[in-house]
Structure 1
Amino acid sequence: MEYLKKAQHLEQTVSNEVEKTVKEIISTVKTERDAGVKKYEERFSKSVRALRVSEEEIEKSVRSLSYDEKALIDRVVERISSFAKAQLECISPLEKEFGPGIHMGHRIVPIEKVGAYIPGGRFPLLSSGPMVVAPAKVAGAKEIVACSPANYEGGIHPAVLYGLVRSGATHIYAIGGAQAIAAMAYGTESVPEVDVIAGPGNRFVAEAKKQVFGKVGIDLIAGPSEVLVFTDDTADPKKCAADLLAQAEHDPYARPIMVSTSRTIAEQTIKEVEQFLKEYFSSDSPAHESWAQMGEVIYARSLEEGLDICNDYAIEHLHVHVKDSRKLMDRLHNYGSLFLDSDSSVVFSDKVSGTNHTLPTLKAARYTGGLWVGNYVKVITHQEITGSGVDFLATHATEQSNIEGLEGHRLSAELRLSDKYLYNI
């Protein structure tokens, strides 16, 4: 492999200062509750408003949207919900006999109280709310607490608010950052305590989720957006460049990466990126810094080498601009979400196709997928032992407990042996 362009910063790490700040925020919110949340809202967001979004505020926001705007968001909610329902249908309960008198299985039980974090960011991302909330609703969560920063005219953007309502949020709060995560994890006078927290956010949100994990469950730690565009000599450099920049505009630390088996396509794509940046992106767009500091273009000398590079990067979005790309799917196994062929734009998934855009970054795709309906259910096991199954298991457990020296275990097992066995108790 050969780098035609190499990133200046290979990864973003959480500084000790961020870790310390988040620890302080969580401690304050645990102790001071609503007052602690309001303290940090005023400090970081300059917000002095009520924490909970009232029904009157929701109704006013909804009225401000046009019919077409609401129809567009409704479509997003419907498609995300439909995909989540199809996924849930794949998770089946189990009830089976594993030998005479040994019945075991599992049930699929919804998480009761879900916390959804919806980032504010530079732009009002209309799909972010439905991406986090709709699968929880499909899973059967009884209570869905949604938090989003009050960074639009002192509140949550009307379109984002409408998406949360349509997706099934039961409580909505204009709270952002680590204080929102702390409030949902530990509860305050206003914010209910939840069982699991899901949703992307900035480095403070990611660090807060990391620190409250254990007290509550979390989906994953998601960093700035990543995309790897894998190409051969059939690729269109303009489409490749556009796909790289679509993710680069999310954040200065976003990682736009290209791996190509064609040096010509790779070099032409670099030129197209530079041209697009001049023509289509404002000077303050994060895309400029992202491409300059984080962008990479790699020439792979063979298809096999290119596939190995893709799997090693374990990227968030893997977009394959290769002829007959579906044939390569079984050879690609480390990615957050896979996009086959040049017209399967990552943007479609970002917005409306139906798969979730909350995905693993920084090589976490080696061991996990993205947010899905399965994050909002528990697979819990059960067993019922009767008849000859009791004798079989009790005999084994007694003998094993003797070897292990666990008297209490031996006692519990041996008491269940039938009368034909000699009790040594």
Structure 2
Amino acid sequence: MPPRYLKKGSAAENSTNTLSLEVGSIVKEVIDDIRQNGDDAVRKYSEKFDKWSRQSFKLSKEQIDAAITAVPKHTIEDIRQVQANVRQFAQAQRDSIRDFELETQPLLERATPPIAGQIPNSTVAAMHMAGADEIFILGGIQAVAAMAIGTETIRKVDFIAGPGNAFVAEGKRQLFGEIGIDLFAGPTEILIITDETADPFTVATDILSQAEHGPDSPGIILTTSEEVGRKAIAFIDELLKELPTAPLAGTSWKAYGEVIVVDSIDEAWKVADEIASEHVQVFTRNPRDALEKMSAYGALFLGENTCVSYGDKYTGGLWVGKFLRTCTYQEVKNSEASGELGRLCGRAARAENFEGHARSGDLRAQKYLKDEYSWIRKAGGPSVTKRAMI
């Protein structure tokens, strides 16, 4: 039996496409303006989008210290613990990689938008504690463009990482190549796979934890139990009545929320791989089965003891390799080996119709194995005989 929907999202595909085109057009306009007019354009868009305009968006040491002082002590301790968790996980990832060089003095710029016209003290504290060299109160596409392009007061960066709304994501997409980025991100996604053992209230709570990211964040419940699905829907409706972020989460759930019922857990694994969600929580009798049964996902969260929200607070949103540059080198020390590789290169490259590639191999095959190639002779290159006489 095909999957059955207890709830489908109301958003139409064509409206999503239209929105994407509008976002792309606006983002291009902002990038072009900042490229042309620098800080003046940054101030214009910061005022337009965030009602925040300053002569300098960069925080002074005194402002950073004041922001940290304004943060409650327990919040500072929480930030310190979260950063220790993420750092420990990243170090374990890094330790799995051998023979790399570490840049000891990278310049770390951080940017965060104002909140209701105010400096977000806790965020500034977290940035400072994470090692930021410069902190800017600046958000949205104007921050992405300013840091990617560089202005009179904001230095150009090599790499931009971090989440944002559709305009931020589109800005990173358009500027990729000019700078490196962490990933091409869409709206935050969550898929929760359940069987009859799952707690519907937990399912509902965790769906809304990600729906509050924005009005276009998909949240899908994929279950073998119609009862769990229906109860989760009812709990979501109830929770939205008093959730402070309900205007966002409720819009997202109405437009992009889905509840799908399948006949077996094996079918659930198959459907989940077709959905290929960014975040997948598994509330089943044997959640670790997902490690063998699934292959298309961003991150798995196994069992009701964990959740997507823990990902940000313990493992982090990226893996350490995003901040490593892979460089390779090649040195063929044996002349005979170079000649043999040259023969192989010549044959393989000609099979691909890359004559120029092939000739680089031919030349070494002639130099080191005394093969002879007419194109070398016609071009006045060294002959086998002349080479042998050297």
Task: Tell me how far 1:389 sits from its aligned partner.
Answer: 2.1
Could you tell me which runs of 5 or more consecutive residues in structure 1 were left unpaired when the two chains were aligned.
94-107, 113-139, 358-370
SS at match of 1:183: helix
Which structure's residues are more often strand, by fraction? 1
Counterpart Cα distance in 2 of 1:195 and 1:408:
36
1:69 aligns with 2:71: no
Provide Cα deviations, 1:110-144, integer angstroms capped at 9, x if missing partner. 6x6xxxxxxxxxxxxxxxxxxxxxxxxxxx67111
Counterparts of 2:37 and 2:308, CA distance in 1: 42
| Matching residue of 1:360 | none
Q: 1:225·1:316 contact (CA, 8 Å) conserved in 2? A: yes
C-alpha distance 291-415 of structure 1, shift in aligned 2 (>3 A): same
- Identical positions, percent: 34
Amino acid at match of 2:136: Y
In structure 2, give the amino acid aligned to 1:339.
F
- Residue 394 of structure 1 corresponds to 342
Shift of 1:245: 1.7
| 2:109 partner SS | strand
- Work out whether 1:378 is the aligned partner of 2:325: yes
Q: 2:296 aligns with which of 310, 321, 334?
A: 334
Alignment deviations for residues 171-196 of structure 1 (CA, whole Å, 9 cap, x no partner) = 21111111111111111122121222
SS at match of 1:320: strand
SS of the residue 2:25 aligns to: helix
More helix by share: 2
Residue aligning to 2:164:
201
Q: Residue 314 of structure 1: CA displacement?
A: 0.9
Cα distance, 1:402–1:236 mapped onto 2, change above 3 Å:
closer
Deviation track 1:278-330 (CA, whole Å, cap 9, x = no partner) reads 3x324853222222222111110111211111111111221111001112321
Q: Within 2, Cα distance between the matches of 1:422 and 1:277? A: 79
Structure 1 residue aligned with 2:174, among 179, 187, 211? 211
Distance 1:397 1:417, change over 3 A: farther
Query: 1:281 and 1:415, CA in 2 relative to 1: closer, same or farther beyond 3 A?
Result: same
The code of the aligned residue for 1:147 comes to A
SS at match of 2:108: strand
Structure 2: distance between partners of 1:4 and 1:257: 11
Select the residue among 139, 162, 175 that pairs with 2:138: 175
| Contact preservation (8 Å) 2:111, 2:139 | yes
Distance 1:412 1:216, change over 3 A: farther
Using the alignment, how far apart are the partners of 1:391 and 1:382 within structure 2?
19
Q: Which residue of 1 aligns with 2:66?
A: 60
Higher RCO (C-alpha 8 Å, min separation 6): 1
Structure 1 residue 395: deviation in Å? Answer: 3.8
Alpha-carbon separation, structure 2, partners of 1:185 and 1:55: 24
Residues in 2 aligned to 1:230 and 1:337: alpha-carbon distance in whole angstroms:
13
Question: 2:81 aligned with 1:81, yes or no?
Answer: no
* Partner of residue 124, structure 2: 161
Q: Quick one: structure 1 residues 389 and 291, their matched pair in 2 at CA, closer, same or farther if it must change by over 3 Å?
A: same
Q: CA deviation at 1:26?
A: 0.8
| Matching residue within 357, 360, 366 for 1:409 | 360
**Structure 1 residues 246 and 393: CA distance shift in structure 2, 3 A:** same
Deviations 1:20-45 (A, max 9, x none): 22111111111222222122112222
Partners of 2:366 and 2:44 in 1: CA distance: 60
Seen in structure 2, the aligned counterparts of structure 1 residues 141 and 77 have a Cα distance that, compared at 3 Å, is farther
Give the deviation of 1:201 after TM superposition.
0.6
SS of the aligned residue for 2:289 comes to helix
In the other structure, the counterpart of 1:6 is 8
RMSD: 2.4
Residue 22, structure 1, aligned to residue 30, structure 2: no
Matching of residue 291 in structure 1 with residue 257 in structure 2:
no
Cα separation, 2, equivalents of 1:199 and 1:258: 27
2:346, 2:359 within 8 Å by CA — same for their partners in 1? no
Q: Secondary structure at the match of 1:382?
A: coil
Choose which of 92, 98, 107 in structure 2 pairs with 1:143: 107
Pair 1:42–1:261, CA change in 2 (3 A): same
Q: CA deviation at 1:261?
A: 0.4
Mapped pair 1:356 → 2:316? yes
Where do 5+ consecutive residues of structure 2 fail to align?
382-390
Amino acid at match of 1:58: I
- 1:401 Cα deviation (Å)? 6.6
Residue identity in the other structure for 1:148: T
**What count of residue pairs does the alignment treat as equivalent?**
365
Given that residues 194 and 282 in structure 2 are in contact (C-alpha distance below 8 angstroms), is that contact kept between their aligned partners in structure 1?
yes
Q: Shift in Å at residue 232 of structure 1?
A: 0.7
Aligned to 2:226: 263
Quote the residue 2:282 is aligned against.
Answer: 320
Matched to 2:324, the amino acid is V
Please name the residue that 1:40 is paired with: 45
Distance in 1, matches of 2:133 and 2:299, equals 29
Q: In the alignment, is the contact (CA less than 8 A) between 2:282 and 2:290 conserved in 1?
A: no
Equivalent residue for 2:204?
A: 241
- Assess, with a 3 A threshold, how the Cα gap between structure 1 residues 141 and 392 changes in structure 2: closer, same or farther: farther
Aligned residue for 1:297, secondary structure, equals strand
Could you tell me whether the CA contact under 8 Å between 2:146 and 2:154 is conserved in 1? yes
The equivalent of 2:387 in structure 1 is none
CA–CA distance in 2 between the matches of 1:245 and 1:375?
Answer: 29
- Residue 19 of structure 1 aligns to which amino acid in structure 2? G
Larger Rg: 2
Equivalent runs, 1:306-317 vs 2, <5 Å: 306-317=268-279
Once residues 58 and 68 of structure 2 are traced to their aligned partners in structure 1, the CA distance between those partners, rounded to angstroms, is 16
